[in-house]
Chains A and B, each alone.
Chain A
Amino acid sequence: MKGSKRKSRRVLPGFGLSMGFTIFYLGLLVLIPLSAVFIKTSGLSWGEFWETVTAPRVLASYKISFLTAFFAALVNLVFGLLVAWVLVRYQFPGKRLVDSLVDLPFALPTAVAGIALTAIYAPNGWIGKFLEPLGIKVAFSPIGITIALIFIGLPFVVRTVQPVLQDLEKDTEEAAAMLGAYRARTFRSVILPELIPPLLTGFAMAFARGIGEYGSVVFISGNMPMKTEIAPLLIMTKLEQYDYMGATAIAAVMLVLSFLLLLLINYLQWRAGRRVIAE
């Protein structure tokens, strides 16, 4: 409340109190604990650090985490757009239910999602038993990990694309239709350019979430070192073996990559926000 007296241009009270609490809590709960990873890692020499994070098993786990998260985000890019498109533009029975189901991955605990997906895609599961004779192994393979990450990432794409599609609905397209543009051309030259920023944001969010995801993946992945072991699980394994140094070094690499992705997402959103203001 003191802020308002000191700085006369601030009409509203409470800047000092709200800002103070925000910084205090952010520092105490998030920034200081996160810095522990880098302080601990700095205890290693560069050579030791490099050796730890480039060990074959560690590299394999990064590769699996990144590739599965990338493919899952790619699938969500296509199907997330499709689901958002259908929800915004068409009428069909059960539409409200489908719209609610999109948020399920946000609300369902990841471990529950993990055991449920495993039950379905395991070789004796509902869908797995039809795929098994075809020679497609879903559970306990990278495909299973990808499916878990598709589940986790779906709402990120749908919920970033949906509002943009809704706004487009009304103005731009009407203009294109009045000018007599063909459907396919309307989509290519009017709708798609507007959709690219939210699609990129949704993709990056789903990708970032997928890299770090643990709960939904560990049940379906089978956790075989070099083959289906994701990076977060390797951190867990090292912790259980009391190899704190190893776990922390792997975590440091993941954190840096996640931060870069977060910066990219915020930049994309900031740019999208600026475009709206400019218009």
Chain B
Amino acid sequence: MAGVVTAHLSRDPELRPRHRNEPRWVQWLLIGLALLFMLLIVALPLVSIFIEAFKRGVDVYVASITESDALSALRLTLLAAVISVPINTLFGIAAAWAISKFRFRGKQFLVTLIDLPFAVSPVIAGLIFVLLFGAQGFFGPWLDDRNIQIIFALPGIVLATAFVTFPFVARELIPLMQAQGPHEEEAAVTLGAKGWQIFWRVTLPNIKWGLLYGMILCNARAMGEFGAVSVVSGHIRGQTNTLPLHVEILYNEYQFSASFAVASLLVLLAVFTLIMKSFIEWKSHRETAKEAH
């Protein structure tokens, strides 16, 4: 996932001399195979969600997504994202600043540690917070005495979400800022700029598209996280259910149309994410092209 924005800067397909291309029929065979694969694995599932969601008519669809349990699940999903995305953004900027602008020992190790949550199964991401804050956990009795509930409540959901989405912004910014290097900021220091001034005036304009892309990916994962949240939420309808968990409950109750209807809301989130990604690529591509002239 890292560096998608940077990687796509040079997308323009170049016109090649004809003799360097494969024969036409080989090209179409390969294109056909690739499209068939994409259709079976990616496109069909996407389409099927909407067809299943509207199978029993628009009325059932509207009823399913405006029902009070669905709405409270939507609220909780938004709340968890609104808390975890900004914290992880702050972290991403801090980590990328330290890693890209300074030389220190163990840098590669630090980058590996930041990647850790990517390598951890979502279920384990939930489990670790149960081990810490659950009724039998290390801090369980202490929290219980003070009547603080973390597991099976909002704080647990936020912790699990923040853990799972931890590397997203940092992973996007580190390669981008490493490629840019510290030179522009150092020039700003020479010209007498102060700390935050350098960040707002020099660094931020340079990283804004990468930052935005990292935040959007982080948000998509935060709103869609299932496994980790499933462990810590306790599945209390109308209280600790997020949208993905609500999809599961409806599905397991054989309310397929309602389940797919709620799922279609999450598909819209995914489609929005992809459109924003294309937009950001187009924007950053245009800006680099302009600078080159």
Contact = CB atoms under 8 A, between A and B. Distances in A.
A90 B247 CA distance: 39
B127 A247 contact: yes
Given A18-B94, A259-B119, A12 B37 contact: no
B13 interface: yes
A73 interface: no
A12 B101 contact: yes
A50 interface: no
Interface in B182-205: 182, 185-186, 189, 194-195, 198-199
A210 B259 CA distance: 25
B108 interface: yes
Interface size class of A (residues with CB under 8 A): 35 or more
Contacts of B61: none
B120 interface: yes
Interface string A112-128: 11011101100000110
Contacts of B19: 177
Contacts of B263: 109, 111-112, 115-116
A219 B166 CA distance: 26
A170 B13 CA distance: 10
A10 B130 contact: no
Given A86-B34, A239-B130, A212 B41 contact: no
Given A33-B129, A115-B260, A214-B227, A108 B267 contact: yes
- Main secondary structure on chain A at its contact with chain B? helix
B22 interface: yes
B154 interface: no
Contacts of B4: 159
Given A112-B49, A177-B20, A236-B231, A255 B124 contact: yes
Nearest to A27: B113
B226 interface: yes
Contacts of A88: 13
B44 interface: yes
Interface string B23-40: 000010011011101101
Contacts of A143: none
Contact of A106 (B17, B116, B162, B217): B217
Contacts of B248: 111
B233 interface: no
Contact of B226 (A92, A111, A151): A111
Nearest to A101: B42
B214 interface: no
Given A11-B186, A83-B34, A147-B41, A30 B117 contact: yes
A208 to B, nearest CB: 6
A151 B19 CA distance: 36
Nearest to B217: A106
A100 B278 contact: yes
Nearest to A234: B123
B91 interface: yes
Contacts of A147: 41
B172 interface: no
Interface residues of B, number: 110
A105 interface: yes
Q: Most chain-A Cβ atoms within 10 A of its Cβ — which of B31, B127, B251, B259?
A: B127
B97 interface: yes
Nearest to A205: B118
B292 interface: no
A58 interface: no
A112 B185 CA distance: 44
A239 B189 contact: no
B48 interface: yes
A162 to B, nearest CB: 7
A261 to B, nearest CB: 6
B91 A25 contact: yes
Contacts of B30: 82, 85-86, 90
A214 B186 contact: no
Contact of A108 (B27, B97, B266): B266
Contact of A30 (B8, B166, B186, B278): B166
Interface of A: 1, 10-15, 17-19, 21-22, 25-26, 29-34, 36-37, 39-40, 79, 82-83, 85-92, 96, 98, 100-113, 115-117, 119-120, 126-127, 147, 150-151, 154-156, 159, 162-163, 166-167, 169-170, 173-174, 177, 183, 208-209, 211-215, 219, 231-233, 235-236, 239, 244, 247-248, 251, 254-255, 258-259, 261-263, 266, 270
Interface of B: 1, 3-4, 7-8, 10-11, 13-14, 17, 19-22, 27, 30-31, 33-35, 37-38, 40-46, 48-49, 52, 87, 90-91, 93-95, 97-98, 101-102, 104, 108, 110-124, 127-132, 134, 136-138, 159, 162-163, 166, 182, 185-186, 189, 194-195, 198-199, 217, 220-221, 223-227, 230-231, 243-245, 247-248, 251, 259-260, 263, 266-267, 269-271, 273-275, 277-278
18 contacts: A12-B189, A12-B198, A17-B94, A18-B93, A37-B124, A37-B128, A40-B131, A86-B34, A98-B35, A104-B270, A111-B248, A112-B263, A113-B45, A120-B44, A209-B118, A214-B226, A261-B119, A262-B112
